């Protein structure tokens, strides 16, 4: 892109877009600030007008990712309709869909080593997505008698970890190693987990 093509406000996002493309290609630690600047068509010095450094640029990629992620998760939850179980399953599938469609954002969020607490905006974005998963879990746990309910945050963390594991092992850059479709792996894993909790009967077919 020619440098003269930018006007005030565009360069910052152009740098983010360049960084996301590089993260997708090389990972969050595999590119330099100079490479991001070159891809955006500016000098490395111009980057510092908008970002304190590479980590700050990656953090902005992550912040934007969490905003998209929260929207995707909330849309999947859809207020818990048509049922708590169906909505819970949809939230799990949305996790995989986000990772596939927005790999640069996903890696900036979860593989860059940045803490979500690095900035208030980043923390707020991460908490929003986590709250969707927590609401979905709370609604599902309500179907169990109180004396049989495990801590809802622990259940949410288990399912989140399961989804993250499927993404890391099979949903991105697998090179054909996945034994089953990632969505099927996650759906089956969640089903086994929920049967163990007593939420699903043994012969239940996932929605």
Kindly state whether residues 38 and 68 are assigned to the same domain.
no
| Cα separation, 113 vs 34, whole angstroms | 20
**pLDDT value, residue 10:** 86
Domain count, the chain: 2
Kindly state whether residues 107 and 18 are assigned to the same domain.
no
- Position 181 in a domain: yes
**pLDDT value, residue 8:** 46
Instruction: Locate all alpha helices (DSSP H) within 119-173, ordered by sequence.
Output: 120-141, 152-166
**pLDDT value, residue 5:** 42
- Position 202 in a domain: no
Q: State pTM to two decimals.
A: 0.87
**pLDDT value, residue 174:** 53
Kindly state whether residues 10 and 84 are assigned to the same domain.
no
**Which residues in the chain show pLDDT less than 50?**
1-8
Kindly state whether residues 108 and 12 are assigned to the same domain.
no
Kindly state whether residues 89 and 149 are assigned to the same domain.
yes
Span between the terminal Cα atoms of the chain, in Å:
47
Kindly state whether residues 153 and 169 are assigned to the same domain.
yes
Query: Structural domain of residue 170, as residue ranges?
Result: 59-197
The DSSP line for 13-64 is HHHHHHHHHHHHHH-TTS--HHHHHHHHTS-HHHHTTT-SSHHHHHHHHHHH
Contact (Cβ atoms closer than 8 angstroms) between residue 134 and residue 156: yes
Alpha carbon 193 to chain centroid distance? 21
Looking at 51, 67, 87, which one is the last position of a domain? 51
Kindly state whether residues 87 and 122 are assigned to the same domain.
yes
Contact (Cβ atoms closer than 8 angstroms) between residue 155 and residue 88: no
Kindly state whether residues 165 and 63 are assigned to the same domain.
yes
- Position 204 in a domain: no
Kindly state whether residues 116 and 46 are assigned to the same domain.
no
For the chain, the C-alpha Rg in angstroms (whole number) is 20
**pLDDT value, residue 199:** 87
Q: Which helix (H) or strand (E) holds 173?
A: none
Q: Is 97 exposed, middle or buried (0-12, 13-18, 19+ CB in 10 A)?
A: middle
Kindly state whether residues 38 and 63 are assigned to the same domain.
no
- Position 44 in a domain: yes
Contact (Cβ atoms closer than 8 angstroms) between residue 27 and residue 65: no
Q: Which helix (H) or strand (E) holds 114?
A: none
| Cα separation, 156 vs 60, whole angstroms | 26
Q: What CATH number is attached to the domain comprising 139?
A: 1.10.357.10
DSSP structure class, residue 143:
T
Kindly state whether residues 66 and 99 are assigned to the same domain.
yes
Angle between helix 84-101 and helix 182-197 axes, rounded to 10 deg: 150
ω into 82 cis (within 30 of 0): yes
Kindly state whether residues 45 and 69 are assigned to the same domain.
no
What does the pLDDT look like over 40-82, one tens digit per residue?
A: 999 989 899 999 999 999 999 999 999 999 999 999 999 999 9
- Which sign, positive or negative, has the C-alpha torsion 146, 149, 150, 151? negative
DSSP structure class, residue 6:
-
Q: What CATH number is attached to the domain comprising 40?
A: 1.10.10
| Cα separation, 25 vs 126, whole angstroms | 24
- Position 206 in a domain: no
């Amino acid at each position: 892109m020619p440098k003269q093509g930018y006007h005030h406000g565009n360069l910052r996002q152009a740098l983010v877009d360049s960084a996301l493309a590089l993260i997708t290609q090389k990972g969050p630690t595999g590119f330099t600030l100079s490479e991001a600047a070159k891809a955006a068509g500016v000098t490395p010095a111009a980057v510092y007008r908008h970002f304190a450094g590479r980590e700050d640029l990656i953090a902005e990629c992550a912040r934007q990712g969490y905003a998209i992620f929260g929207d995707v998760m909330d849309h999947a939850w859809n207020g818990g309709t048509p049922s708590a179980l169906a909505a819970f399953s949809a939230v799990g599938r949305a996790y995989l869909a986000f990772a596939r469609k927005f790999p640069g954002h996903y890696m900036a969020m979860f593989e860059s080593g940045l803490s979500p607490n690095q900035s208030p905006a980043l923390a707020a974005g991460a908490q929003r997505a986590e709250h969707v998963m927590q609401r979905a879990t709370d609604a599902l746990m309500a179907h169990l008698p109180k004396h049989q309910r495990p801590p809802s945050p622990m259940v949410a963390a288990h399912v989140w970890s399961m989804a993250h594991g499927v993404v890391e092992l099979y949903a991105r850059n697998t090179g054909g190693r996945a034994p089953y479709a990632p969505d099927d792996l996650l759906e089956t894993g969640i089903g086994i987990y929920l049967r163990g909790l007593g939420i699903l009967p043994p012969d239940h077919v996932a929605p």
